[in-house]
């Protein structure tokens, strides 16, 4: 540690030079920046997904096999039930059904039930096709099942 005496406007001042403090300053700033970044990431991840451990859900479809006739597009109604693994219904789950040139979506009610109407069309010469089901709900793992609903031509 070195000292120096200076006279500014007739006043004697003594400055102490501490080279360790100057060298430690960048390290302290770096540590503060890292801690701040980790805290910001933790806060943002909680805001974007408030559930650290999302639950699974059970999705059931009625009917699982639908029969259509003719070569024209046909409207069918499909009932979807979405429940937690303990049986409680999941309200406001977003349900999407798609396939065979059609798509339909809706939210579940307080009983975990929704009815989706979808227009399907089997191409000429094709006697069966399948629809995919996707369900998303807050604090639950996304459910996605390809070929969950079977469509048969009569």
Q: What is the pLDDT along the chain (154 residues), one digit of tens a residue?
A: 445 555 555 555 565 666 665 566 677 888 889 999 999 988 887 777 667 788 899 999 999 999 888 778 889 999 999 999 999 999 999 999 999 989 999 999 999 999 999 999 888 888 899 999 999 998 899 999 999 999 998 8
pLDDT at 129: 92
Distances (CA, A) of 78 to 2, 41, 108: 84, 41, 13
Indicate the pTM of the whole model.
0.67
Give the integer Cα–Cα distance in Å for 78 and 45.
36
pLDDT at 13: 59
- How far from each other are the two terminal CA atoms of the chain, in whole angstroms? 95
DSSP per residue over 99-113, as a string?
ETTEEEEEE--TTSE
Provide the Cα torsion 82, 84, 87, 93; round to 10°. Answer: -30
């Amino acid at each position: 540690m070195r000292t120096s005496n200076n006279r500014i406007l007739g006043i004697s001042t003594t400055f102490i030079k501490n080279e360790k403090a100057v060298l430690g300053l960048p390290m302290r700033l770096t540590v503060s920046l890292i801690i701040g970044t980790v805290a910001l990431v933790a806060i943002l991840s909680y805001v974007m997904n408030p559930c650290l451990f999302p639950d699974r859900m059970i999705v059931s479809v009625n009917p699982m096999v639908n029969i259509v006739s003719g070569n024209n597009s046909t409207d069918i109604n499909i009932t979807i039930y979405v429940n937690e693994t303990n049986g409680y219904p999941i309200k406001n789950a977003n349900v999407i059904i798609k396939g065979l040139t059609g798509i339909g979506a809706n939210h579940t009610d307080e009983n975990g039930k929704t009815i989706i109407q979808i227009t399907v069309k089997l191409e000429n010469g094709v006697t069966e096709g399948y629809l995919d089901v996707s369900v998303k709900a807050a604090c639950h793992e996304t459910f996605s099942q390809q070929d969950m609903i079977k469509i048969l031509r009569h």
